[in-house]
Amino acid sequence: MNAVGIGVLASGRGSNFEALARAAQEGRLNGEVRLLVANVAGAGALKRAQALGVPAQFISHRQFNSRVAFEQALVRALEAAGVELVCLAGFMRILSPFFISQFPNRIMNIHPSLLPAFAGLLGMQVHEAAIAAGVKFSGCTVHFVSEEVDAGPIIIQRVVPVLDSDSADSLAARVLVEEHQAYIEAVRLYCERRLEVNGRRVKVVTA
């Protein structure tokens, strides 16, 4: 099987990007991270890409006067790099139906909760909401991106306990460890052509 071309979109730190890029470089998935795009200058993800030798581009949404014009630039960059699968990893822009239609069931996102709980929240807000709600377990979800935010077909979830002593920071750190594993696993399954999407459900086909 040919390696799947992967593109990652990020806005910040980039630890999920790094987990995916390393897994690909170490041959733990049948894919190659061909491009990292960050829309924020100085994003940690750009520095990590440089350190890992992954081609990277900074494309600011501010350079464009519409969402679609920004997204057209993203599509051009991703296609030029030979990207089949787009992975959102802390990408802080909502994608329009135009972008989503360019990569049908070929865009994944990671969210730091057990969706559909705490959908639509960003960053630390997710963990603050989980603690405030008194849930005993939280975790992360990798899902395909659909037009409704944080509501596309779920591929993988991983669970962590929420401890009485937790702060949003300590819970975020525990969830992040699982995020990296979950994202690698979801992309690995995709690259092995083992994900079958049926409505909102994703079936993992045995190898």
- Burial level of 74, CB count in 10 A (0-12/13-18/19+)? buried
Tell me phi and psi for residue 28, to 5 degrees: -85, -5
- Asked if 110 touches ligand GRF (CB under 6 A), the answer is yes
CB-wise, 79 or 131, nearer to ligand GRF? 131
For residue 93, how many other CB atoms are within 10 A of its CB?
16
Q: Which two tokens stand for residue 50?
A: 């440089």
Q: Among the candidate windows 9-17, 63-71, 78-86, 160-168, which touches ligand GRF by CB under 6 A?
A: 9-17
Whole-number Å distance between alpha carbons of 93 and 83: 19
Catalytic residue among 111, 127, 143, 180: 111
3-class secondary-structure state, position 69: helix
Active-site residue, 111 included:
yes
Q: Among the candidate windows 13-21, 23-31, 46-54, 188-196, which touches ligand GRF by CB under 6 A?
A: 13-21
Candidates 4, 6, 7, 14; binder of ligand GRF (CB under 6 A) is 14
- Asked if 145 touches ligand GRF (CB under 6 A), the answer is no
Whole-number Å distance between alpha carbons of 186 and 87: 10
Which residues are near ligand GRF by CB under 6 A?
10, 12-17, 89-90, 110-112, 176, 179
**Residues labelled as active-site residues:** 111
